[in-house]
Amino acid sequence: MKDKYAIVGVGYTPQGKLPGRSSLSFHLEAGVNAIQDAGIDPKEVDGIICYRHFPPASGEKDVTPYLVAQHLGLKPTYLAQDAN
Amino acid sequence: MHAVGVLEAGFCRAVLITYGHSARSSDSLLKMLTSMNADEAVFGHFGAAAGYALAARRAMHEFGTGPETWKHIAISQRKWANLNPQAVTFCEPMTEEDYFNSPWVVEPFRRADNCLITDGGRAIIVTTVERARNLRHPVVSIMGMGMHNPSAEVTMATHLTGPTGAKVAGEQALRMAGITIEEIDACEIYDCFTYTVEITLQDYGFFRRGEGRDWFSEGTIAPGGRLPVNTSGGLLSEAYQMGLTPLSEAVMQLRRCCGMRQLGPETGMKKYPEIILCSDNGGILQTHACYVLRRM
């Protein structure tokens, strides 16, 4: 599989101390920015993996890849939690 | 690695990997710590800092590492962060005195040995090299990868002082890439603690067991050094975006869009980097993934 796959998009968000922002909002902003950075049609994104994560904060929902897909308006064929 | 798996299986054409955490401003991490109720917790042993501190303490005993080694890692990475406007510690230099004055979190770790706790997110997209050729950026391919998980409860682990999963995962990744370790231009290492950087590079074979103290001195991994490591500042000094801090930085360095911290003539290197090795690990050195990326 050498040189068969590539990392084509990188998405950043503001980082540091940002009170009032939910974990989900960071997933979404980074995701949108990665898609824009790659310059691909969002419809082309047919897999979503949410990185291994921490317990949700009080008042926040647990971030699942399904939630990320819904908010980004994507309909992926593959969803998974926990990458490495 | 999971993303490549589903692409290779033909389930997907492009996979988005996202991370985000309101770690600094919310009670998420506090909830995690207070919910830890394993047997050791009643003795005061819980959390990642305590687990890695246990490993680091054992390593001090077995091969003579310690703060005199780790100070080089913390200070070198801070120098990188001071070149990265996106880094949380961009405006905060760290001297040797600062390092030793940093308060204990869990001995032998000072706060300067611990990664940052930050709000923020990061994402990457993985697709085929074939597709990447028609996109806007220079192609950064996955040359090789490996994973090894010597999983065990940390208190019973036999791998605290190496070999961790880095040894086998690193060998797998280099074998797939068809290169030797000498061909690596820079490393982006998952650095939850300073000791993690030492044991990971040691297990990959950059230096022999216990030789880290000499190896890290003289700015080996700092700007202008012979093997730049964690060039964004890493988890210690840029921001905690889990394994995506190292991976995204490797991609940006290979694209040559890192501004002041760009590896190459900008930071005293003869040439731009072509091959960068990245790591990620989970648990208390229980899982490990290694990636070799290159600019095609």
pLDDT digits (tens, 9 = 90+) for B179-231: 999 999 999 999 999 999 999 999 999 999 999 999 999 899 999 999 999 99
> Which parts of chain B are beta strand (E)?
14-22, 104-106, 109-110, 119-128, 140-148, 186-188, 275-282, 287-295
Contacts of B248 in chain A (CB under 8 A): 10, 12
pLDDT at B111: 98
Q: Give the one of B12, B29, B177 whose C-beta lies nearest to A46's C-beta.
A: B12
Q: What is the pTM of this model?
A: 0.96
Confidence at A84, pLDDT banded by 50, 70, 90: very low
Identify whether B19 is a catalytic site residue: no
CB count within 10 Å of CB B246 equals 28
CATH of the domain at B248: 3.40.47.10
Residue B84 to residue B188: CA distance in whole angstroms: 15
First to last CA, chain A: 17
Q: What is the mean pLDDT of residues B81-105?
A: 98
Dig out the tokens for B91 from the structure: 């405006």
Residue A60 contacts residue A67 (beta carbons within 8 Å) = no
List the single best residue of B8, B125, B245 to mutate versus A (max A Cβ within 10 A). B125
- How many domains would you assign to chain B? 1
Q: Over 90: is that where the pLDDT of B38 sits?
A: no
Query: Of residues B190, B195, B204, B291, which has the active-site annotation?
Result: B190
Asked if residue B218 belongs to a domain, the reply is: yes
Asked if residue B70 belongs to a domain, the reply is: yes
Q: Give the one of B16, B119, B293 whose C-beta lies nearest to A21's C-beta.
A: B119
Question: Is the complex ipTM higher than 0.85?
Answer: yes
List the single range of B37-46, B71-80, B127-136 with lowest mean pLDDT. B37-46
For B264-277, write each residue's pLDDT tens digit: 999 989 999 999 99
Within an 8 Å CB–CB cutoff, is residue B275 touching chain A? no
- Scored b (16 or more CB within 10 A) or e, B53-81 reads bbbbbebbeebebbbebbbbbbbbbbbbb
β-sheet with B287-295: strand ranges across: A78-81, A47-50, B14-22, B119-128, A5-12, B140-148, B287-295, B275-282, B186-188
Q: How far apart are the CA of A62 and the nearest CA of chain B, in angstroms? A: 11
Q: Cis (ω within 30 of 0) for the bond into B163?
A: yes
Q: Is A45 within 8 Å of B14 when comparing Cβ atoms?
A: yes
Instruction: Give residue limits of the domains in chain A.
Output: 46-84
User: Which residue in chain A is spatially nearest to B178 when comparing CA positions?
Assistant: A2
Which amino acid, residue B93? P
Asked if residue B42 belongs to a domain, the reply is: no
> Which parts of B149-266 are beta strand (E)?
186-188
Q: What is the mean pLDDT of residues A23-31?
A: 97
Residue B41 to residue B33: CA distance in whole angstroms: 10
For B164-183, write each residue's pLDDT tens digit: 999 999 999 999 999 999 99
pLDDT at B173: 98
pLDDT at A83: 52
Range of the domain at B194: 2-36+47-295
Within an 8 Å CB–CB cutoff, is residue B152 touching chain A? no
Instruction: Give the sign of the dihedral formed by CA A59, CA B234, CA B232, CA B111.
Output: positive
Q: Give the one of B15, B24, B32 whose C-beta lies nearest to A49's C-beta.
A: B15
Residue B156 to residue B143: CA distance in whole angstroms: 35
Q: Is B119 within 8 Å of A45 when comparing Cβ atoms?
A: no
Pairing of β B14-22 and β A78-81: unpaired
pLDDT at B35: 79
Dig out the tokens for B10 from the structure: 């033909």
Q: Is B248 within 8 Å of A10 when comparing Cβ atoms?
A: yes
